[in-house]
Amino acid sequence: MKISKFFVLSSSLLLASLSFADYSQQPHVAPFIDRMVEKHQFERTQVLEWLKVAENQQSIIKAMSRPAEKVKPWHEYRNIFVTELRIKRGVEFWQQHEETLERVYKKYGVDPAIIVSILGVETNYGRNTGSYRVIDALSTLAFDFYHSIEKRESRKKFFTIQLENLFLLAREQKKDPLTLKGSYAGAMGWGQFMPDSYRDYAVDFDGDDFVDIWTNPTDAIGSVANFLTKKGGWKKDQPVATRAHIGQQLDTQGLNKMRKPKSTIADLKERGYQPVQNFSEDSLAFPMKLTAKYADEYWLGFNNFYAIGRYNPRIKYAMAVYQLSLMIKAQRCETTETCS
């Protein structure tokens, strides 16, 4: 019993000390500090000051260890996002921002329902944009979590780059990086943009000379569309996904691989996937399998499904966005008699 109490006490003290980690003094953080000074001409004292007050967040580590996309089967994951309340709020959001969504469609060609759905899945239309300081989230993930996990160098590099971009966007937008808040992964604003995505794809869509994804839904709408077009390769008025029946002989090669589609519908039919709708035989798609409550579902994802996947590279995420968009569009048609 004494040993157990000592272990619990020691663990508690360790977690407490991690919460107040002084990243400015940690040897493995030094290369990052040098990079900010030498490449980007930040004042060393300023970078040290920011990293000194950044805090390790154990709740972030726990959340990153068990993302819903990985641990929940499709039917449970779907029920988180495709709900009557979120559909209703999506219709209301569309009505409130109809003019902006129409402008976005004309400029970028992105289906307004998909934009509304992404904002619904990401933050419930701005209601939950995250309560973590972004600097805490990115420092924890760059310098503690992935630093201690073997064979995760790519993820460590990703979050280190995000922290670099956080400081750059703060300087460019005259923001204090200590005040910016977001998700446990460091994503910000209505559309949950990572810092590099903000710098690359966020746009000023209302013409006020400030790109505000935190409190301005107009900029958020334009930014999501710009992202889907430029990074995702969204194609105007093209299909997203379709259900498929399967044959007795099924070729599962490439199943559930979120990659740019390369197989034609004709090829997929030969491999045992029969789309429930008619598409050109040379249309490109990839096969998906989702675990529903009572039986597996098979789908084919087209280029625009992959475009959504560039936002979050998970099959379940992109499918939740797509199905929520269909429900929002259907209810909008019923309630407003506007079916475009």
- Three-class SS string for the chain? CHHHHHHHHHHHHHHHHHHCCCHHHCHHHHHHHHHHHHCCCCCHHHHHHHHHHCCCCHHHHHHHHCCHHHHCCHHHHHHHHCCHHHHHHHHHHHHHCHHHHHHHHHHHCCCHHHHHHHHHHHHCCCCCCCCEEHHHHHHHHHHHHHHHCCCCHHHHHHHHHHHHHHHHHHHHCCCCCCCCEECCCCCECCCCECHHHHHHHCCCCCCCCCCCCCCCHHHHHHHHHHHHHHCCCCCCCCCCEEEEEECCCCCCCCCCCCCCCCEEHHHHHHCCEEECCCCCCCCEEEEEEEECCCCEEEEEECHHHHHHHCCCCCHHHHHHHHHHHHHHHHHHHHHHCCCC
337 flagged as catalytic: no
Buried b / exposed e over 111-134, threshold 16 CB at 10 Å, is: bbbbbbbbbbbbbbbbeebbebbb
The C-alpha atoms of residue 270 and residue 77 are separated, in whole angstroms, by 31
- Report the length, in residues, of the chain: 340
Q: Which of 49, 69, 122, 334 is catalytic?
A: 122
Q: Torsions phi, psi of 246, nearest 5?
A: -120, 150
Q: Taking a C-beta distance cutoff of 8 angstroms, is the pair 132, 182 a contact?
A: yes
DSSP strand pairing (273-275 vs 263-264): unpaired
Closest CA to 167 of 35, 22, 29: 35
Would you name the residues annotated as active-site residues?
A: 122
